[in-house]
Amino acid sequence: MSQYQLKKKNSSFLFLFLLFLALINAGASFAQKQTKKDLEKKKQQLQKEIEDTNQLLAETKKNKKLSLNQLVMLNKKISVREELISTINNEIGELNHQIKENNESINGLQKDLTKLKAEYAKMIYYAYKNQDSYSRLMFVFASSDFEQAYMRLKYLQQYSDYRHKQAERIIQTKKNLNEKVQDLEAKKSDQRVLLGSQESEKQNLTSEKTEKEQVFSGLQQQESKLKKDLEKKKQDAQKLQQAIQRVIEKELEKAQAQAVKENKPKPQKLVLTPESQQLSNSFSSNKSKLPWPVAKGVISEHFGVHPHPLMANIDINNNGVDITTNSGSLARAVFEGEVKAVVNMPGAGQFVLLRHGEFLTIYSNLKDVYVKVGDKVTTKQNIGSVLLDDEDAKTVMHFEVWKGQTKLNPEDWLYKNN
């Protein structure tokens, strides 16, 4: 390999290496920006959730009586507040990292500026000593041959160009330094704001925990009443599950009767037509993207088995989620489908069951219902109004998602930020 080819290969390798480093730095910068953006977005979502919970808590307090829902809402708000403080801590940590990097950049730029100024001062001194044209001409004419004279003339030109470039580098380095200093001041200002916000949220958290202890203490004196309420809720839940099972069995019986007519084997599960299969697939592909069954609300009781908020020795098993919402709120379909049941539950309002192919959604604790069996509904269509519990001043809708006869966690299906 010739020397020229070797130089060309080394030059190409150096270019690719520098490009690789540039891409790594750009990626790190992008990731940092994304992290900051994500944290800010999460913080805004949590702040909105706290505001919504505050509104619902204010409604619960209207009747001047302590209620279990009040305790649930306080627990919810405390949980969100703690997550908000954690998010602010992460933001402060990210900002501290950026401030450290800025300080390191500023130190590096200051060293570069000092070095450039020293080099420039030497060049100015040399230029001053050799400033007259006679000295420069003598330097050129003292050459031993034409080639040396040409090289010396070229050197003087390059030296002059280098001086100008050095001056430009000093100006650019000063500009970069000023920008970094301004950016550092802005980040320090953001840091002060975040620290103030963090302190304010900690004070709110302390106040909310005190309020929770007061409500908790007051409710303990009503334990016998709360146990009766819990027993009624369990009975209502069992009735609801039995009613849902009857609807599913009825659908299956229809499919089996149709199969007998057509001289086909009886199906053991709900039969899907090509159209309902397509609807089922569409529903499945919208997992974690479905709109909430109310326009505004917070989940006050989660899916599955979990301890009672007041009586730790008692577990609650929820087949869906309970969503506390504003009084007067309307229930809405989370996806297009068909109304398969509208059932009145004495003492627990009404419920509506929608079928979306293989999937079912249940909307319970409704006061008025705006649809009837056989109706086709569209996504976000209002299907009824949510019942208000006058005694506890709470408006809670129970919502379930089933696939066939399997209960699913609705939180996995609903959009995370309603």
The pLDDT score that the predictor gives to residue 335 is: 97
Percent of the chain with pLDDT over 70: 80
pLDDT higher than 90, residue 401:
yes
Q: What residue segments make up the domains of the chain, in order of their start?
A: 14-220, 225-412
The secondary structure of 361-384 as a DSSP string is EEEEEEEEE---TT-EE-TT-EEE
pLDDT higher than 70, residue 9:
no
Bridge partners of 325, per DSSP, are 395
Q: Which of 116, 96, 93 is nearest to 104 (CA)?
A: 96
Q: How far apart are CA 276 and CA 336, in angstroms?
A: 11
Q: What's the pLDDT tens digit per position in 20-60? A: 445 445 444 444 455 778 888 888 888 888 888 888 888 77
Q: Which range, of 21-25, 387-391, 400-404, averages the lowest pLDDT?
A: 21-25
The pLDDT score that the predictor gives to residue 158 is: 62
Average pLDDT for the chain: 80
Bridge partners of 316, per DSSP, are 306
CATH topology of domain 225-412: Glucose Permease (Domain IIA) (2.70.70)
Q: What's the pLDDT tens digit per position in 319-329? A: 999 999 999 99
Are the C-beta atoms of residues 133 and 153 closer than 8 Å to each other?
A: no
The more confident residue out of 2 and 333 is 333
Q: Which range, of 58-72, 140-154, 341-355, averages the lowest pLDDT?
A: 140-154
Query: Crossing angle for the helix pair 3-60 and 68-129, nearest 10 degrees?
Result: 150
Q: What's the pLDDT tens digit per position in 220-232? A: 887 777 788 888 8
> What single letter denotes the amino acid at residue 113?
L
Q: How far apart are CA 343 and CA 356, in angstroms?
A: 18
The more confident residue out of 23 and 386 is 386
Q: How far apart are CA 71 and CA 344, in angstroms?
A: 29
Q: What's the pLDDT tens digit per position in 65-74? A: 777 888 888 9
What single DSSP character describes residue 290? B
- Over range 288-314, report the average pLDDT: 89
The more confident residue out of 117 and 295 is 295
The pLDDT score that the predictor gives to residue 147 is: 67
Highest mean predicted confidence (pLDDT) among 86-95, 98-107, 149-158:
86-95
The secondary structure of 79-118 as a DSSP string is HHHHHHHHHHHHHHHHHHHHHHHHHHHHHHHHHHHHHHHH
Beta-strand pair 376-377/359-369: unpaired
Are the C-beta atoms of residues 370 and 384 closer than 8 Å to each other?
A: yes
| Radius of gyration, alpha carbons of the chain | 36
Q: Which range, of 101-110, 148-157, 216-225, 387-396, averages the lowest pLDDT?
A: 148-157
The pLDDT score that the predictor gives to residue 150 is: 56
Structure tokens at 319: 């087949």
The pLDDT score that the predictor gives to residue 152 is: 56
- The model's pTM: 0.69
pLDDT higher than 70, residue 336:
yes
pLDDT higher than 60, residue 131:
no
Cβ atoms < 10 Å from Cβ of 406: 7
Which spans in 131-263 are helix H? 133-141, 146-220, 223-261
Q: Which of 355, 185, 346, 178 is nearest to 283 (CA)?
A: 355
- Any idea what the Cα angle at residue 70 is, between residues 68 and 75, rounded to 5°? 95
- Over range 168-188, report the average pLDDT: 80
